[in-house]
Amino acid sequence: MYKKIKNPAEIEMRSVIRFLNAKNMIPAEIHRQICDVYEEHAMSSSMARRWVRLFNEGRENVSDDPRSGRPSVVNEDLVRAVEEKIRENRRFTITPLSLYFPQISRSVLHKIASEVKEAVTTCFASQTAQFYNEGIQKLVQRYDKCLNNGGKYGEKWCTVCTSNGNMQGL
């Protein structure tokens, strides 16, 4: 009885095929052994035979070949621009954001926004209680200044989470 593998990567099965093929095992036996271990997650018999044929023809790489296709228009500068737009209006929705960036699909915008949200959440969660206590004390001081100036006190304060997880005031 073999230990079953539930979520194999394609590259993993190809490596097994390459190994068993190097031991001169026939494709049908290779597929049977893959099915024993990977069960319903195993690749089809025809796909296993195809990979055996490719390895017999001299292929050594088990990774997918690069595919031609539509090149990505998303680059680091564009991602930074989206992040800036999100920071300008934290109550954004994907629809207005897609109007600013028509070259980016809505699904990619959603992914970028989710990553920004995760980074901010992680940053805030990593802060100590002292950080929040200091912030509350500053709010009390600002509230007092506002009341003492007849409500005419304003201060723009923005904090940004840096790449190392620290809060930085701007």
pLDDT in tens, 21-37: 999 999 999 999 999 88
CB 115 within 8 A of CB 86: no
Whether residue 106 sits in one domain with residue 147: no
| Within a domain: 147 | yes
Whether residue 137 sits in one domain with residue 119: no
Whether residue 90 sits in one domain with residue 50: no
pLDDT in tens, 68-109: 776 666 778 888 888 888 888 878 788 888 888 888 888 888
Dihedral pair phi/psi, residue 126, rounded to 5°? -80, -10
Whether residue 43 sits in one domain with residue 17: yes
pLDDT in tens, 113-152: 888 888 888 887 888 788 888 888 888 887 777 777 765 6
Whether residue 49 sits in one domain with residue 83: no
Whether residue 117 sits in one domain with residue 105: yes
In the prediction, which pLDDT does 121 show? Answer: 83
CB 31 within 8 A of CB 48: yes
Q: How many domains does the chain have?
A: 3
Give helix 27-38 / helix 10-22 axis angle, nearest 10°: 140
| Within a domain: 155 | yes
Domain residues for the domain of 43 are 10-56
| Within a domain: 86 | yes
| Within a domain: 4 | no
CB 18 within 8 A of CB 62: yes
CATH number, domain with residue 29:
1.10.10
pLDDT reading at 157 higher than 60: no
In the prediction, which pLDDT does 120 show? Answer: 80
2 vs 153 pLDDT, higher one: 2
115 vs 162 pLDDT, higher one: 115
CB 87 within 8 A of CB 120: no
| Within a domain: 71 | no
In the prediction, which pLDDT does 67 show? Answer: 74
| Within a domain: 70 | no
| Within a domain: 164 | yes
pLDDT in tens, 51-73: 999 999 999 999 888 777 766 66
| Within a domain: 50 | yes
Whether residue 121 sits in one domain with residue 81: yes
Whether residue 118 sits in one domain with residue 133: no
Whether residue 142 sits in one domain with residue 113: no
Whether residue 135 sits in one domain with residue 114: no
